Copies of this chain bind each other. A is one copy, B any other.
Amino acid sequence: MPDPTATPTPNPLRKSTGRVGLWMVGARGSVATTATLGLAAIAGGHTAPTGCVTASEPFTEAALPGFDEIVVGGHDVTDVSMVARAETLVRDGMVAPQLMEAAREAISRADAQVRPGYTTMMPAGMPAESQQAAAERLAHDITSFRDAHELDHVVVVDLTSTEAVPEAAPEFFDAPALREALADPSRAVLPPSSVTAYAAILAGSPYACFTPSAGMNLPVLMEWATEAGIPVAGQDGKTGQTWLRTILAPAFAARGLKVLSWAGANLLGGGDGATLADPVAVQSKLASKTRGLQSLTGSEVTPLHIDNVPDLGNTKVAWDHVHVEGFLGSRLTLQTTWSAYDSMLAAPLVLDLARLLSLAGGAGHAGPVAALGFFFKDPWSSDTHDFAGQTRELTEWVEEASQLVNSNAHHS
């Protein structure tokens, strides 16, 4: 119960977790730049937070940091600045010029916080760095950022391009063996996304895995995260076509209709289109795209293709053909065609994750937050793929966690 003698504040609940950091890995990419630009435009009142889940009912009273309380930094391996990237977005017609101008200074400030990321392809002549050393370096970047800006939490979100699926190594299941491998400068047992995840653990940072890459999703890392008391969420942002599939499939089941096949195509340009046209890199992506659907329909799903269509730029066009058996063996078909800027779907969810993982941290959550499966194709610690079910679970969790944060606030 609020203290009636306290000085009234405009929104005491939203302030309760304090200022937080959003540390994006792949900070100069399209999604991170869009998120940074959007955060500044929303915080400055230049645009509404359309597309942000947490900006409207039933989350307006939740114990979430305000959009104006989020500070941005991150890692990247490119030298091309967020400002340059944002200008590309304007040129491609994705972002209105006036929003860019309103956000330019904030983007520039965020870019100044970007530190060199980790890659297994280090420049020739560089002394070999063990993965332990690399992770410590990355963790140091994060904690320095936290200290410099006096932040309560720094939420790490991995937004890097899809990696090839790593071969399963015994070290992924064996903590001492992994420690030994990490310390050896001649070995690179973890894929880069997992070095990032490990750095988040070392920094004590809540972490979200927006890519299908391994990231935190190795048994030992997940265990360490839980031990370290950090909330984590994953995996692979559910932005467009997969989202649509997890809306529709449960409805067919609720009507007693039997999905016979769910086939489709996926056209994408931009850098992502090229990455995902590589059959090796795309393997993890396609697996996570179909897993939920197979679980929801119980039927065979024809594997999706992702085609690189460079002239589409950041627009993703996805076509689905659903073949369904109805009454007396009759057949019905549903086709859907989805067309959207991919980064515009992902960016607001990144802001949501920053706010919600900050809440999870404030509520003392350790390990995977099942209710954040809402945001992912391959939810950690949850079998719920059904989007309406996920919406309910998210709503309930936010309410409980907010109560916990608020009651903590009053007892401290």
Q: Which residues of chain A have a CB within 8 Å of any CB of chain B?
A: 34, 37-38, 41, 47, 49-56, 93-97, 99, 243-244, 247-248, 250-251, 254-258, 260-261, 263-265, 267, 302-303, 305, 307-312, 317, 319, 321, 323, 325-341, 344-345, 347-348, 386-389, 391
Contact = CB atoms under 8 A, between A and B. Distances in A.
Nearest to A259: B311
A46 B330 CA distance: 14
Contacts of A310: 261
Given A330-B340, A334-B336, 12 more contacts: A56-B256, A96-B329, A99-B329, A248-B248, A251-B388, A260-B311, A263-B267, A303-B307, A311-B323, A317-B333, A327-B348, A332-B339
**Copies of this chain, how many?**
4
A116 B391 CA distance: 50
Nearest to A331: B340
A328 B302 contact: no
Nearest to A334: B338
A336 B319 CA distance: 10
A51 B256 contact: yes
Contacts of A327: 34, 38, 50-52, 344-345, 347-348
A263 B391 contact: no
A387 B251 contact: yes
A311 B96 contact: no
Contacts of A330: 94, 340-341, 344
